[in-house]
Amino acid sequence: MDWQELGMTAARGLRVYVAMLVIIRILGKRTVGNFTAFDLLVALMLGEVVDEIIYGDVTLAQGFVAITVVAAAKYLTAWLSYLSHGLNKLLEGTPRELVRDGELARDGMRKELMNEEEVMASLRLQGISDMREVKKAIMEVDGIVSVIRQDWAEPLQKRDLHGDKAEKISPEEKRTDTPQALGHGS
């Protein structure tokens, strides 16, 4: 095995990584299911490389070079995405609204290539049978639809039954969707 051949293996691995990332991004979030585009791409490529090594189609050295290149590309793109929000949006995509205030958000549905039946199926998986209960339904970057219910549609909580006896907490203290609520801000 010579160094030139290992270098060619590394270059092929990097080209395949970039090409597959572009294809996965074009196909959309639903293609990747619960994976991010990076996770799916790395899983596919590593699975293929391991297959080639196991069946002896490539040498161990070539296989390990390819695995190292894929891992390094994943690490590099993850760091670049972390450092640049613009690059993160380009590589991972952005969440898209599918339902807004009980109405279908047709623009988001079109961009995600989802029809009404698929949106309703996603809502049913979240325990929602009436779309009017939905304040927002969002296709997240990992392909999962998250749902925020209308205030009146939130399930009854134990604290709701105690009325005046319930601990008084301001709405801002109840929030869990801000960096401050998570302890990451001032």
**DSSP letters spanning 88-147:** HHHHH---EEEEETTEE-HHHHHHHT--HHHHHHHHHHTT---GGGEEEEEE-TTSPEEE
Q: How far is CA 119 from CA 28, 30, 60, 136, in A?
A: 15, 12, 46, 12
Q: Would you say residue 44 has pLDDT above 80?
A: yes
Q: What is the CATH architecture of 96-174?
A: 2-Layer Sandwich (3.30)
What letters, b where the CB count within 10 A reaches 16 and e where it falls short, cover 76-96?
ebbeebeeeeeebeebbbebb
Over residues 124-143, the mean pLDDT reads 90
For 82-107, write each residue's pLDDT tens digit.
Answer: 898 888 888 778 899 999 999 999 99
40 burial (CB, 10 Å; 0-12 / 13-18 / 19+) is buried
Q: Give me the residue spans of the domains in the chain.
A: 3-92, 96-174
For 4-20, write each residue's pLDDT tens digit.
Answer: 888 888 887 787 777 77
Please state the pTM of the whole predicted model.
Answer: 0.57
